[in-house]
């Protein structure tokens, strides 16, 4: 059973998973919305078995971590990566991201590309031209977004909906994901984050092609939130040296939906380093 550790950071309790020898090469995994570090439950042991130290935080406000004391915006989450890494003494890392974890982690990587040893990017993007999916549009709308996240606090209905979307997911993983909806101040974290995004924050960060280290792009074939077309656009525009894998018959939450399909690709990435 994986057990979370606790770090006191800027007055907040931050929970995180940490597996592998302290002096091993570092892998940092950044989850998205509405997820937690438990997104990585199945891949963490597989990566650490290859000789890496694998670290995955619950981002502030998600999972068991406290929310920021101020606004939970995109800028604060990018800054959190620096604060978290400094607190644990992390320097060069292999970065693995999913969903909003990519929009946060890739923005960090644009500025700190010399610290990125390799990248695994999944079901996320940091480029112009993306149109928000219907739920995101609701979250981004003042008034409507508050009503939507309040309705999502109905645990029974939310769990049923997620089990329909990800039939194979383990219940305790969904329990951990749901924690962001349990209290009103945590639910607002999602609204803050989605409403802080705009094109001006995306366009200056198109320098990802400066990352010359190995890049693997993984995508669910039937992702209803971010089309697999963006996997190839990302390769064409940002990572021409990347390897792209589209996972057949999968949706957005590939790491908990189809770990048997993801794990060989993740292991293949690290075995080739």
Instruction: Please report whether residue 16 resides in a domain.
Output: yes
Number of domains in the chain: 1
Q: Whole domain around residue 72: which residue ranges?
A: 5-130+200-271
Instruction: Please report whether residue 239 resides in a domain.
Output: yes
CATH number of domain containing 40: 3.40.50.1820
Give the whole-number percent of the chain exceeding pLDDT 90.
Answer: 88
pLDDT digits (tens, 9 = 90+) for 202-217: 666 667 878 899 999 9
Q: What confidence score (pLDDT) does residue 198 get?
A: 74
Q: How far is CA 116 from CA 3, 13, 37, 235, in A?
A: 27, 26, 20, 17
Token pair of 208 as six digits: 């990802």
User: Which residues, including other chains, have CB under 8 Å from residue 36's CB and lie 6 or more apart?
Assistant: 58, 59, 62, 63, 64, 176, 177, 179, 180
Q: What confidence score (pLDDT) does residue 208 get?
A: 81
Instruction: Please report whether residue 113 resides in a domain.
Output: yes
Instruction: Please report whether residue 137 resides in a domain.
Output: no
pTM of the model: 0.97
Instruction: Please report whether residue 36 resides in a domain.
Output: yes
Instruction: Please report whether residue 171 resides in a domain.
Output: no
From start to end of 124-257, where are the E strands?
215-220, 243-247
d(Cα 228, Cα 226) in Å, to the nearest integer?
A: 7
Asked if residues 165 and 133 have their Cβ atoms less than 8 Å apart, the reply is: no
Instruction: Please report whether residue 148 resides in a domain.
Output: no
Residue 252 φ then ψ, to 5°: -85, -40
Other CB atoms within 10 Å distance of the CB of residue 119? 25
Residue 48 has, within 13 A of its CA and on its CB side, a CA count of: 20
pLDDT digits (tens, 9 = 90+) for 50-97: 999 999 999 999 999 999 999 999 999 999 999 999 999 999 999 999
Instruction: Please report whether residue 159 resides in a domain.
Output: no
Q: What is the dihedral of CA 258, 245, 252, 132, to 10 degrees?
A: 180
* Mean per-residue pLDDT, 236-252: 96
């Amino acid at each position: 059973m994986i057990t979370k550790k606790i770090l006191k950071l800027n007055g907040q309790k931050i929970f995180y998973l940490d597996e592998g020898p302290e002096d091993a090469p570092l892998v940092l995994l950044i989850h998205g919305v509405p997820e937690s570090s438990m997104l990585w439950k199945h891949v963490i042991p597989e990566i650490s078995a290859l000789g890496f130290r694998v670290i995955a935080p619950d981002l502030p406000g998600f999972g068991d971590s406290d929310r920021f004391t101020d606004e939970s915006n995109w800028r604060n989450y990018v800054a959190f990566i620096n604060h978290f890494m400094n607190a644990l003494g992390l320097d060069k890392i292999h970065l693995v991201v999913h969903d909003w974890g990519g929009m946060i982690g890739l923005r960090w990587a644009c500025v700190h590309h010399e610290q990125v040893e390799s990248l695994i990017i999944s079901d996320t993007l940091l480029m112009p031209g993306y149109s928000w999916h219907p739920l995101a549009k609701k979250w981004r709308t003042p008034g409507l977004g508050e009503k939507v996240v309040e309705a999502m606090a109905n645990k029974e209905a939310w769990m049923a909906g997620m089990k329909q979307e990800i039939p194979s997911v383990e219940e305790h993983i969904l329990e951990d994901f749901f924690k962001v909806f349990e209290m009103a101040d945590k639910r607002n974290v999602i609204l803050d984050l989605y409403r802080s995004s705009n094109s001006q924050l995306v366009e200056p960060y198109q320098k990802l092609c400066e990352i010359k280290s190995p890049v693997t792009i993984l995508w669910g074939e039937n992702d209803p939130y971010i089309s697999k077309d963006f996997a190839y656009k990302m390769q064409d525009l940002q990572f021409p040296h990347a390897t792209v894998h589209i996972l057949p018959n999968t949706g957005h939450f590939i790491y908990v939906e189809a770990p048997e399909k993801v794990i060989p690709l993740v292991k293949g990435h690290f075995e080739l380093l």
